[in-house]
Structures are given as C-alpha cells and as structure tokens.
Chain A
Amino acid sequence: AQSVTQLGSHVSVSEGALVLLRCNYSSSVPPYLFWYVQYPNQGLQLLLKYTSAATLVKGINGFEAEFKKSETSFHLTKPSAHMSDAAEYFCAVSEPGANSKLTFGKGITLSVRP
C-alpha cells in the first residue's frame, strides 16, 4: 500500500523568501510522485511530476522538487515566494501500473506575507 505524509497543515512565508513544503512517501515499488496546487474555489492543477527520470524535477511557476529515495522524500521548493503562490498544495504518490491511482497527502496551505 502507498501513502503520503505532509507534515503540518499550514506554512507561512514572507514574499521573496524560500518556500519549502515537505512530503514523505511510502510505496512498495518505485513510485511516481506528484505535486498539485489548488487555488481557492478551483480544481487541482499539476505542478510537477517525477516518473523515474531525472531526480530533480522542475515544474510550473518556478517550483521544483527533488526525489530522494534514501529519505523517501519529495519536497517542493521555490527560491522566492510570490503573493500569487498562496494556495493549498498536495503531494501524491502512485505505483506504476496500479490502475494509475493516486494517493494524496492531506495538503498544506501556503500563506505569503507582504
């Protein structure tokens, strides 16, 4: 069985500061990993994905994440936060071939202070 842990429910940073959102996963096989973003009253949008190619993955809006097998982690980072980054972020894991099902973490709300 696969699972995702996102520690904490809320992160607050100042505009221009580093954004770091943590994600740890559990999977019985080499996983695919994803980060999604959800803006208020909207659906989820794919930020980036790891599917067993390069371990450092770049996504939209300046975000990136690094797959670290030894730490079972896939943390999301952005060097400089912008006000428009305020949203809820979800980490998700799937096992290749398992009907493509994604298992999501509980999400982290990112606030950006002016």
Chain B
Amino acid sequence: DAGITQSPRHKVTETGTPVTLRCHQTENHRYMYWYRQDPGHGLRLIHYSYGVKDTDKGEVSDGYSVSRSKTEDFLLTLESATSSQTSVYFCAMAEGGYGYTFGSGTRLTVV
C-alpha cells in the first residue's frame, strides 16, 4: 500500500527466540509507529519514532524494542518471544498529524 511495506507478512516462531519485524517506507515521513491488534483490544501502540534515532514507548512496550537508523526503516524486535506476543502487528507512518498510512500487517504466532 501507498509507500509502506512490512516484512515478513507471516511468521511462526518458538517461545524464547528473538524476532525482528521490519517496516519500510518510501515517503520520507517523519513519524513511524508500531501497533499490535488483538481481538477486543483494538490497536495498541507499542513504540513510535519521531525521527532517526528518536523513539519512545507506547502503552504496551514491555518485551519490545525498536530501532530507527534511517528515515525509511523502523524495526520492531521481540527480545525473547512469548505466547502473549502472538498478534497481528501493524506499522504506520505519518506527517503533520493528519492521520496514518498503514502497512498490511505481520501475523506473528509464537508457539
């Protein structure tokens, strides 16, 4: 979709292993976000970035870390995956506070 892609689209991993999800944008937008979507919870913010090397925590950041070494890439890492982190993860980008453009999501299953 519109200049933002996520990889992989699907992943199955084992409990205790590290996992990295990638978000790549081609729009040179300043802001990028990682959300997780779970039934009954809507979308909850994990981490966000407001520039290269500038990141901050969201409401459900425990167990996750992020990095943004280039404007176009925003990585989400699960240091040691747990079953509670089984979810659909969405990346989004924004510029100017007028709403997000979302990626297509990554479905992560931790077994």
Q: Which residues of A contact B (CB under 8 A)?
A: 9, 32, 34, 36, 42-46, 49, 51, 90, 94, 96-107
Q: A residues within 8 A CB of B33?
A: 101-102
| CA A50 to CA B16, docked complex, whole Å | 43
- Which of A36, A42, A44, A104 is the most central at the interface, judged by chain B CB atoms within 10 Å of its CB? A44
- Which of B50, B58, B101, B102 is the most central at the interface, judged by chain A CB atoms within 10 Å of its CB? B102
**Are B40 and A106 in touch, CB under 8 angstroms?**
yes
| CA A45 to CA B2, docked complex, whole Å | 11
- Number of residues in B with C-beta < 8 Å to the partner? 27
Q: Mark B87-111, 1 if CB is under 8 A from A, else 0.
A: 0001000111111111111000000
| CA A106 to CA B41, docked complex, whole Å | 5
Q: B residues within 8 A CB of A98?
A: 97
**Are A9 and B99 in touch, CB under 8 angstroms?**
no
> Residue B45 at the A interface, CB < 8 A?
yes
Q: Apart from A36-B102, A43-B1, A99-B56, what are 10 other A-B pairs with CB-CB below 8 Å?
A: A32-B99, A34-B99, A43-B102, A45-B102, A46-B101, A94-B97, A94-B99, A100-B97, A101-B58, A107-B42
Q: A residues within 8 A CB of B1?
A: 43
**Are A32 and B40 in touch, CB under 8 angstroms?**
no
**Are A32 and B97 in touch, CB under 8 angstroms?**
yes
> Residue B74 at the A interface, CB < 8 A?
no
| Residue in B58, B97, B105 whose beta carbon sits within 8 Å of that of A96 in the complex | B97
Chain B residue at smallest Cβ distance from A9 = B40
**Are B31 and A102 in touch, CB under 8 angstroms?**
no
Chain B residue at smallest Cβ distance from A98 = B97
Which residues 31-88 in B have Cβ within 8 Å of A in the complex? Answer: 31, 33, 35, 40-45, 48, 50, 56, 58
**Are A100 and B43 in touch, CB under 8 angstroms?**
no
| Residue in B42, B100, B102 whose beta carbon sits within 8 Å of that of A105 in the complex | B42
